[in-house]
């Protein structure tokens, strides 16, 4: 029995000696190559501003082993400039699959577009790898100097920096309860449709900057928000209106997947959300500036004096102006009005009021040119006039003096009917009527 156990032990030792060794990493901590795993990849690579060169390898791969000395040399040369890492994709297959790794070694460069890294297909030398990494770093610097200023995870090229990277941690702060309207793409890095959408999404983000914010959230990493918004496929785009409090306020984007489709769809939503312009009474310099300064055009109306047109009459005019302000709100024009005779300098500069009230002029104070309403001061008449203006039609004239007119400080209208001035009472107690008769 003891002899039998002895031979069994010898057999097991021999089998162990000839069995394949467990897979192990090709690099050590002293090689300047950072070991990357599913637990640290996002923290170190995708959420970091640095440029990363990442090799996906398998320990049994002969080409991977041949690359080791050159990859170490590249890592040493790039130290302090570009970060270099490696992933044992044989052990961490999910991470390799996430980035479409189908063979070994595969080298990816995670640059300004962390969401869709570029595949390195150059020579397997330290010099070539380092040059490709430095080219990506230079590209990032040029984008920032060109006005980008931020990192992006969507798209590529000049519009990429306009796409805002969203995470579980910053989503509520940036999107919910904000004064902006958002389009948010929930994507997966390995998704082919997402990669196709990326440049269109970036281009749309650039064109919509200042009107609609575009964000992107990696739903494979930030699963909490993806689950909250019911994401079941990629890419999924959600429209989130300004002031949203929860995911229930979001609606599905149902437009096309080109930049022009996205921009057109978003601008419609933006127009719907733009508040109607405030119709301001021009009573001093401040109200005039608030109504007209910085606006592409300013619609200036002069209404009849309150004694010639009572409160009901004036309010009827104001309702018409507000309705048209709502209709043309997407133009972002300024709207102001004054009582006839109250702002004589303004009337003279715009050549209105001389033929009676009400009157209207549309002014471009940047070019110091204006156009006067010649038709009726009615909803239809004003609408036709403004429609021609919006199409660039209509006669224009230079503002008199070629400068902003002086604005008088007057009391604002109190909303009431006008009261004629009290007649002066004449005291006849000291008048001798007989003397008057003699004089006659």
The DSSP call for residue 58 is -
User: If we measure between CA atoms, which residue out of 186, 181, 185 comes closest to residue 244?
Assistant: 181
Rounded distance, CA 214 to CA 182, Å? 6
User: Is the Cβ–Cβ distance between 254 and 236 less than 8 Å?
Assistant: no
State residue 435's pLDDT score. 61
In percent, how much of the chain has pLDDT > 90? 59
3-state helix/strand/coil string of 253-316: CCCCCCHHHHHHHHHHHHHHHCCCCCEEECCCHHHHHHHHCCCCCEEEEEECCCCCCCHHHHHH
Chosen domain end from 273, 300, 331: 273
State residue 426's pLDDT score. 65
- Average pLDDT, stretch 103-113? 88
Rounded distance, CA 71 to CA 127, Å? 10
Residue 24 within any structural domain of the chain: no
**DSSP alpha helix (H) spans, 351-414:** 379-390
Please confirm, yes or no, whether 194 is among the known catalytic residues: yes
Band of residue 431 on the pLDDT scale cut at 50, 70, 90? low
Domain co-membership, 40 together with 125? yes
Domain co-membership, 236 together with 163? yes
φ and ψ of 165, to 5 deg: -75, 125
Catalytic residue chosen out of the listed positions 194, 292, 298, 309:
194
pLDDT in tens, 50-63: 999 999 999 999 99
Rounded distance, CA 144 to CA 130, Å? 21
Domain co-membership, 178 together with 86? no
Domain co-membership, 285 together with 261? no
Sign of torsion over alpha carbons 156, 158, 163, 164:
positive
How high does pLDDT run on average in the chain? 85
pLDDT in tens, 319-369: 999 999 988 987 889 999 999 999 999 999 999 877 789 999 999 998 999
Domain co-membership, 283 together with 269? no
Residue 9 within any structural domain of the chain: no
∠ CA 256-257-262, nearest 5°, is 70
Rounded distance, CA 249 to CA 184, Å? 13
**Better pLDDT: 142 or 312:** 312
Residue 110 within any structural domain of the chain: yes
CATH of the domain at 221: 3.40.30.10
Band of residue 126 on the pLDDT scale cut at 50, 70, 90? very high
Q: Give residue 368's domain range.
A: 279-402
Residue 150 within any structural domain of the chain: no
Rounded to two decimals, the pTM is: 0.47
Q: Which helix (H) or strand (E) holds 364?
A: strand 359-364
User: If we measure between CA atoms, which residue out of 83, 94, 345, 115 comes closest to residue 216?
Assistant: 115
Domain co-membership, 251 together with 329? no
Q: What number of other Cβ atoms are within 10 A of residue 101's Cβ?
A: 22
Q: What number of other Cβ atoms are within 10 A of residue 45's Cβ?
A: 20
Distance of CA 374 to the CA centre of its chain: 40
pLDDT in tens, 374-413: 999 999 999 999 999 988 887 888 988 888 899 999 999 9
Has residue 192 got a pLDDT over 60?
yes
Domain co-membership, 334 together with 359? yes
Rounded distance, CA 240 to CA 74, Å? 45
Please confirm, yes or no, whether 64 is among the known catalytic residues: yes
Domain co-membership, 268 together with 291? no
Please confirm, yes or no, whether 292 is among the known catalytic residues: no
Has residue 78 got a pLDDT over 90?
yes
Rounded distance, CA 140 to CA 121, Å? 20
User: If we measure between CA atoms, which residue out of 265, 391, 377 comes closest to residue 328?
Assistant: 391
Domain co-membership, 100 together with 178? no
Has residue 16 got a pLDDT over 60?
no
State residue 275's pLDDT score. 77
Please confirm, yes or no, whether 309 is among the known catalytic residues: no
Chosen domain end from 246, 273, 300: 273
Residue 3 within any structural domain of the chain: no
Has residue 159 got a pLDDT over 50?
no
Residue 12 within any structural domain of the chain: no
State residue 391's pLDDT score. 86
Domain co-membership, 217 together with 236? yes
Please tell me the total count of domains within the chain.
Answer: 3
Catalytic residue chosen out of the listed positions 64, 292, 298, 309:
64
State residue 177's pLDDT score. 77
pLDDT in tens, 205-239: 999 988 899 999 999 999 999 999 999 999 999 99
Residue 51 within any structural domain of the chain: yes
User: If we measure between CA atoms, which residue out of 383, 269, 399, 280 comes closest to residue 346?
Assistant: 399
Has residue 180 got a pLDDT over 80?
yes
Residue 255 within any structural domain of the chain: yes
Domain co-membership, 37 together with 57? yes
Domain co-membership, 306 together with 245? no
Structure tokens at 296: 């592409």
3-state secondary structure (DSSP) of residue 370: strand
Chosen domain end from 239, 273, 307: 273
- Average pLDDT, stretch 285-309? 94
β-strand pairing of 334-339 with 279-281: parallel
3-state secondary structure (DSSP) of residue 91: coil
- Average pLDDT, stretch 113-122? 81
Beta strands of 121-269 (E only): which ranges? Answer: 164-166, 182-187, 213-218, 236-240, 251-252
């Amino acid at each position: 029995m003891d002899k039998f156990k002895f031979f069994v032990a010898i057999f097991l030792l021999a089998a162990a000696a000839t069995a394949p060794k467990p897979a192990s990493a090709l690099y050590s901590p002293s090689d300047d190559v950072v070991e990357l795993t599913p637990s640290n990849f996002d923290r170190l690579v995708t959420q970091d501003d640095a440029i990363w060169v990442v090799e996906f390898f398998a320990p049994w791969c002969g080409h991977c082993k041949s690359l080791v000395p050159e990859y170490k040399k590249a890592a040493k040369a790039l130290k302090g400039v570009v970060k270099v890492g490696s992933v044992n994709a044989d052990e961490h297959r999910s991470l390799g699959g996430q980035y479409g790794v189908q063979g070994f070694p595969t080298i990816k460069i995670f640059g300004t577009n962390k969401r869709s890294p570029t595949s390195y297909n150059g020579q397997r030398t330290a010099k070539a790898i380092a040059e490709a990494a430095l080219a990506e770093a230079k590209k990032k610097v040029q984008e920032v100097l060109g006005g980008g200023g931020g990192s992006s995870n969507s798209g590529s090229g000049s519009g990429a920096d306009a796409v805002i990277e969203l995470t579980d941690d910053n989503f509520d702060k940036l999107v919910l309860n904000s004064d902006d309207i958002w389009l948010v793409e929930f994507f997966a890095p390995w998704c082919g449709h997402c990669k196709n959408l990326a440049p269109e999404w970036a281009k749309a983000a650039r064109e919509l900057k200042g009107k609609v914010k575009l964000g992107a959230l990696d739903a494979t990493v930030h699963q909490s928000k993806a689950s909250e918004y019911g994401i079941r496929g990629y890419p999924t785009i959600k429209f989130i209106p300004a002031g949203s409090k929860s995911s229930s306020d979001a609606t599905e984007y149902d437009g096309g997947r080109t930049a022009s489709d996205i921009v057109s769809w978003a601008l419609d939503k933006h127009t719907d959300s733009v508040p109607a312009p405030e119709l301001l009474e021009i009573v001093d310099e401040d109200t005039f500036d608030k109504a007209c300064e910085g606006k592409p055009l300013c619609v200036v109306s002069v209404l009849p004096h309150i004694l010639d047109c009572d409160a009901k009459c004036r309010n009827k005019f104001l309702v018409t102006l507000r309705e048209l302000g709502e209709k043309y709100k997407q133009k972002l024009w300024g709207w102001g009005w004054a009582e006839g005779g109250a702002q004589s300098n303004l009337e003279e500069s715009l050549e209105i009021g001389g033929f009676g009230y009400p009157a209207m002029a549309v002014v471009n104070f940047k070019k110091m040119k204006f156009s006067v309403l010649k038709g009726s001061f009615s909803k239809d008449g004003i609408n036709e006039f403004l429609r021609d203006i919006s199409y660039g039609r209509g006669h224009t004239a230079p503002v008199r003096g070629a400068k902003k007119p002086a604005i008088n400080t007057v009391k604002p209208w109190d909303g009431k009917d006008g009261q004629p001035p009290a007649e002066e009472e004449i005291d006849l107690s000291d008048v001798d009527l007989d003397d008057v008769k003699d004089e006659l």
